[in-house]
Structure 1
Amino acid sequence: MKKPNKKHINGSARANFWDYDWNGSYFVTIFTKNRGHFFGEIENSQMQLSAIGQAASNYWLQIPDHSLFVELGVHVIMPNHIHGIIKINKSREEIISEKKYPSLLPTNSRNIFGPQSRNLASIVRGFKVGVTKEAKRILPYFGWQKLYHDHIIRDERAYHNIHNYIINNPQKWNDDCFRQ
């Protein structure tokens, strides 16, 4: 039996040629721990949100309130995961300020990827923290999968295809590979 490639298992899923604080659109998928159905259920091809699912939807919509450089595309809350489009759109002045004065940004010396305060990882982390606080009031054992999946959206055609995938996701739940 062939042994798994340890580097692949422990390595980052992030594209090594991309800086995730760059302006761009990202397709993000975030799973619950053990793919538990915390967010509600699909009935007649429509998502019926639980209280935790409603909190997740509310926190998703509030992302631009906390990260003013973020615009949101469509999103969908599924029983055990969330799909959404996050667009980072920093002004030229913000980009220059971050590059010119990086010492003003919070740092974490243990993070090999550098400061994580105004990039995709920090946006997802903030969202997960907000939902977790609310969800644990309802179900103390709520949790997230440790990581998340992202895809850099490179052109208008890809954006359109991902947009359609997200909005049609509840209708395809019975065939969804993430259903369990």
Structure 2
Amino acid sequence: MPKRKHPRLKSFDYSTPGAYFVTICTQNKRCLLSSIVGRGLAPAENHLTEYGKIAMEQLFLLEKRYDFLKIDQYVIMPNHVHVIFILSQTAGASPRPTMTDIVCAYKSLTTRECKKVKPIDKLFQTSFYEHVVRGQEDYDEIAEYIVNNPKKWELDKLYAKE
């Protein structure tokens, strides 16, 4: 069995204040969170499923759980979630939770709540993609990508027929 590559930068402290672009995919990229209506046309409408509504609710509950965390931009797509997390300076918990801790808490809490609606074995993939946002230009590109993602769903590399 091939050894899974660790996707995080070895020398970076993921509890450092800053902006992080995170993508969390559903297990096997199944379209469980929303459906896009009017693909390729502006405005494309993103209709959340029950699971998608829970995913959105749990995203904002993270701000209550972690007082140093802000949800800046996000979109719940059919089979993935894009979000920009902003971590601020705080005198909070020691050791301070890392981005991995925050994403794992989100996936766990969301899955638990979704199971109450309709049983599901595994909602999300084990890992997630992250990108440390480096400057305003980088942030602006990512924010624009998030906003336009529903309109460009059929061109998305994570696209799957619903």
State the TM-score, normalizing by the size of structure 2: 0.89
Deviation at 1:48, TM superposition (A): 0.3
Whole-Å separation in 1 of the counterparts to 2:36 and 2:118: 20
1:13: how far off? 0.6
Match 1:38 to one of 32, 54, 61: 32
Residue number in structure 2 paired with 1:119: 98
Which residue of structure 1 aligns with residue 144 of structure 2? 164
Aligned length: 154
Match of 1:10 in 2: 4
Unaligned runs of 5+ in 2: 39-43
| Residue of structure 1 in register with 2:108 after alignment | 129
Given the alignment of the two structures, is residue 58 of structure 1 paired with residue 57 of structure 2, yes or no?
Answer: yes
Q: Which runs of 5+ in 1 are unaligned?
A: 1-5, 99-104, 106-116
Higher-RCO chain (CA-CA 8 Å, sequence separation at least 6): 2
The answer for the alignment partner of 1:88 in structure 2 is 87
Stretches of 4+ aligned residues off by more than 3 angstroms: none
Q: Which residue of 1 aligns with 2:156?
A: 176
| Counterpart secondary structure, 1:11 | coil
For 1:37 and 1:138, locate their aligned partners in 2 and report how far apart those are by CA, in whole Å: 16
| Counterpart in the other structure of 1:24 | 18
Whichever structure has more helix as a proportion of its residues is: 1
CA deviation after TM superposition for structure 1 residue 126, in Å: 1.0
CA distance in structure 1 between the partners assigned to 2:107 and 2:4 by the alignment: 22
Q: What is the SS of the residue equivalent to 2:138?
A: helix
Deviation at 1:10, TM superposition (A): 2.0
Provide the secondary structure at the position in 2 that maps to 1:21. coil
Q: How many percent of aligned residue pairs carry the same amino acid?
A: 29
Indicate the residue corresponding to 2:41 in structure 1. none
Residue deviations 1:76-104 (CA, integer Å, cap 9, x gap): 0000000000011122x34xx73xxxxxx
Give the equivalent residue in structure 2 for 1:79: 78
Corresponding residue number in structure 1 for 2:46: 47
* Cα distance between partner residues in 1 of 2:34 and 2:118: 13
| Alignment deviations for residues 124-173 of structure 1 (CA, whole Å, 9 cap, x no partner) | 11111111011112231252101000000010110011001001100000
Shift of 1:178: 0.4
State which structure, 1 or 2, has the greater radius of gyration over its C-alpha atoms: 1
Q: What is the rounded CA distance, in whole Å, between the counterparts of 2:6 and 2:15 in structure 1?
A: 16
* Alignment TM-score, normalising by the size of structure 1: 0.80
Q: Following the alignment from structure 1 to structure 2, what is the Cα–Cα distance between the partners of residues 11 and 36?
A: 23
